[in-house]
Structures are given as C-alpha cells and as structure tokens.
Amino acid sequence: MKKAVYPGSFDLFTNGHLDIIQRASKLVDELHVLVADNHDKVPVFTIEERVKMVSLVTSHLPNVVVKATDQLVVNYAKENDIIMIIRGLRNLLDYVGEYRLYSFNKTLDADIETVIMFPSVENHYVSSSAIKELVAHDVDISRYVPNQILPVILEKYKKLVK
C-alpha cells in the first residue's frame, strides 16, 4: 500500500490546501493529512479545531486520514510506513523553505521522498495570511475557503480584529 503525508499547520485552511489534498489523494492508496504546529506562527485555531475542520472538508475522500502531531513529519512518516511527503509550492519564495525542509528530511531518512505539487491556477496565489488580511478588511473570502468551514473562520477572525 502506497501512503503519503501532506503536512501543514492549516491555521486557516484554504481551497488551495483542499486542491492539493484532492489531487494527492488520487496518487496514493492512503493520504495522511497531518495537522501540525509551526513554531514560527501563533495559531488562531486550536489543533483540535483544525483537525475537525480538515476532517469535515475531506470527508468525501475515503482514502484520506486526518491526524495531528507534535513530532517531526519525517518521524511520523517512518512510524506510519509512509514513503512520501507531499508539499505544495506556490512561488519562488516558497521554494527556499521547501528545499530546506527537503534537505533536512533527506538527511533524517533517505528512503522518504518529497513530492512537490503546484496548486491549480485558480489557487496559486491563495495564502492563509492573505485571507486573514481580507477578513480584517471585511472582504468576502468565500472563493478562497471551503464553504463548510467559512462560518467558523469568519466568526473566529472577526473576533480577533475587533
């Protein structure tokens, strides 16, 4: 069974994330979407809230497993017999960080491959930080986030900007 992991903080889950998940799920028998904390960011949603949101918007994908972790992704992969880490790459700024992660992961476990996926054209510019800025300015974000979680996102972020 071929398994992959798609990790992220998903602290504002976007249609760009969902796009990568849907496409990656077609490449493997089992795709683990791994919700993790990024120590460089202060999350708005708890890890439990993020797992719940990702689970809700991926419930139509039978081979997707949503989990949370506080360990290194490469260690999670080893423990779960996962051979591939899926990463999304939107632009050249993302490239530097992704290449650094790839290099570290390869030194930690040479058998785990990193596969880069580009978002579809309509999602290549979508980012959590840009969407947060739009919410702060009361702009409609419905084209950027899954409809199932839009009310939860708006409620949480509008409380923060008041």
What is the pTM assigned to this prediction? 0.92
Q: Among 17, 32, 50, 87, which one carries the catalytic annotation?
A: 17
What is the C-alpha separation between 58 and 40, in angstroms, rounded? 26
Q: Among 2, 41, 100, 158, which one carries the catalytic annotation?
A: 41
Q: Is 17 a catalytic residue?
A: yes
The string of pLDDT tens digits covering residues 20-79 is 999 999 999 999 999 998 777 788 899 999 999 999 999 999 999 999 999 999 999 999
Q: Is 39 a catalytic residue?
A: no
CATH superfamily of 3-161: HUPs (3.40.50.620)
Amino acid at 68: A
What's the pLDDT at 161?
A: 63
Q: Is 78 a catalytic residue?
A: no
Choose among 17, 53, 48, 39: nearest CA to 154: 53
Q: Is 90 a catalytic residue?
A: yes
Q: Among 90, 106, 124, 156, which one carries the catalytic annotation?
A: 90
What is the C-alpha separation between 34 and 32, in angstroms, rounded? 6
The string of pLDDT tens digits covering residues 71-113 is 999 999 999 999 999 999 887 778 888 889 899 999 999 999 9
